[in-house]
Structure 1
Amino acid sequence: MAGRRRWSTEEILDAAVELLRDGDADSFSVRKLAASLGTDSSSLYRHFRSKAELLRAIGDRMLADAMDGYRPEGDWKQRIVALALRVRDASGRQPEIAALWGRYASGGAGSRQVMEELLVALCDSGLPDEEIPVRYHRIVVLVAALIAAEAAVGSIAPEEYEQGMEHFRVTALGADPERFPVLARFARDVRPLGADRRAAFEEILAAHLAQIEAAIR
């Protein structure tokens, strides 16, 4: 009788990503993943000790994909922006994984590469060593929050997104000018959360880096 097939770590991660595209982190389970591979959960636990460890590995692979082919260019600010945009673009291609990454974080080669490049850029900025860990943390929190928010929007179905946009328009344009005079004044110009996200991402990050630069000066 033929033995049960042995799945590699990469094959398990591939299958997990496909499963997540059809659901979310809450409905995802090692049992469902094992069933999709035609095996049992115990065989997967030889690769990953828990569901959280598996999800962190998936998030880390997204970061590794983002850093594939990366070559640092420009000054320290340009390099930080390039890093952030690489991670953002990778998350845009896999919004379900990005939303998961925002909850479970990651750990592995991809995560270490992003950390290393960001810390190198901050070292080159002229900041004293004692300030670099704090500045690093602020940048990571900012970028992760922006990406997680965008991933949440990107992972919903098109019809749900359109319903949300219509709800926003009703909320803004239907505001009572006596009760909400300023909202009524700007209702036609206020943009919904899903609009111009790349421009907003770059502007918010640039403003934060400008604050660091001003502190150095």
Structure 2
Amino acid sequence: MLSEDLIVDTSLRLIELHGAEGLSMRRLGAALGADATAVYRYFANKHQLLLALADELIGRTFAGFEPTGQWQRDLRTLAGLIHGVNLAHPRAAAVVTARVTGRPHELAAVETIIGILRGAGFTPARAVRHYHCFISLVLAFSALDSAMCSGDKAELAAETATWREVYRELPAGQYPNIAEGADLLVAQMRHSPFEATVELFLSALAARLD
């Protein structure tokens, strides 16, 4: 039986198979075994469907999450969960991470994260500001790393090789700072700095409580 949940799940599958451009109401209807017009009884347009997809990913992120009362640990855990769910659906993440849904899962997520920051001792104004910074940081990395996961493998490999084949061979006289750290760049730039950046952010927040 057709339902909003079934439409959302099928849409996620289609995006991961064909990319965002492959998601159309006609293709979605065919995948559901229904006429495309049936989808419009649940979603007025594709934009509303994408908002539902975004909210579904948020819901999957927070499923089973239980705050421990240790604010840094909780934010670290949430950062990893958000990042992980987006990497599990890289093509969908690239389309929906910047959307504001106003839907139940998003409302609960915003309430939870601001609550963690308030519990840490931040004022309402600072809690909202730090929430904005935190979620923007995590979603930006989610979008970036999702793009890396879903991109053309040959192109990504060639771009990664650029650090070794171009940067490491640059003349020290013209590029002294790059030359000095060339081997480090080759080793570092192949990996996402997501976890390290989250730790820097949490340390900066902790310093503001002192």
TM-score by structure 1 length?
0.86
Q: Is contact 1:62-1:97 (8 Å) kept?
A: no
For residues 102 and 54 of structure 2, the distance between their equivalents in structure 1, rounded to whole angstroms, comes to 8
* Pair 1:39-2:34 in alignment: yes
Partner letter of residue 90 of structure 1? Answer: V
1:93 and 2:107 are equivalent in the alignment: no
Tell me which residue corresponds to 2:197. 204
Superposition deviation, residue 140 in structure 1: 1.3
Bigger share in helix: 2
Query: Which ranges of structure 1 fall in alignment gaps of 5 or more residues?
Result: 1-5
CA RMSD of aligned residues (A): 2.0
Which position in structure 2 is the counterpart of 1:213? 206
- Contact between 2:14 and 2:22, CA under 8 Å: does it hold in 1? no
Following TM superposition, by how much is the alpha carbon of 1:153 offset from its aligned partner in structure 2, in angstroms?
0.6
1:129-162, CA deviations, whole angstroms, 9 ceiling, x for partnerless residues? 2322112111111111111111111112433332
Look up the SS of the partner of 1:22 in the other structure: helix
The Cα of 1:91 is off from its aligned counterpart by 1.3
For the residues of structure 2 that align with 1:85 and 1:22, how far apart are their CA atoms?
Answer: 24
Q: Give the aligned length.
A: 209
CA deviations on 1:179-210 (whole Å, 9 max, x unpaired) are 32322222221046441x2xx22221222222
What's the TM-score, normalizing by structure 2? Answer: 0.88
In the alignment, what sits opposite 1:3?
none
Q: Where in structure 2 are there 5+ consecutive unaligned residues?
A: none
- Return closer, same or farther for 1:194/1:39 CA change in 2, 3 Å cut-off: farther
> Which letter does structure 1 place at the counterpart of 2:119?
D
* TM-superposition CA deviations, 1:61-100 (whole Å, max 9, x none): 1111111111111411111111111111111211112212
Q: Distance in 1 between matches of 2:148 and 2:161?
A: 14
Could you say which residue in structure 1 is the equivalent of 2:118?
123
| Cα distance, 1:114 vs structure 2 | 1.8
Identity of aligned residues (%): 24
Seen in structure 2, the aligned counterparts of structure 1 residues 183 and 60 have a Cα distance that, compared at 3 Å, is same
- C-alpha change, 1:54 and 1:160, in structure 2 (3 Å) is same
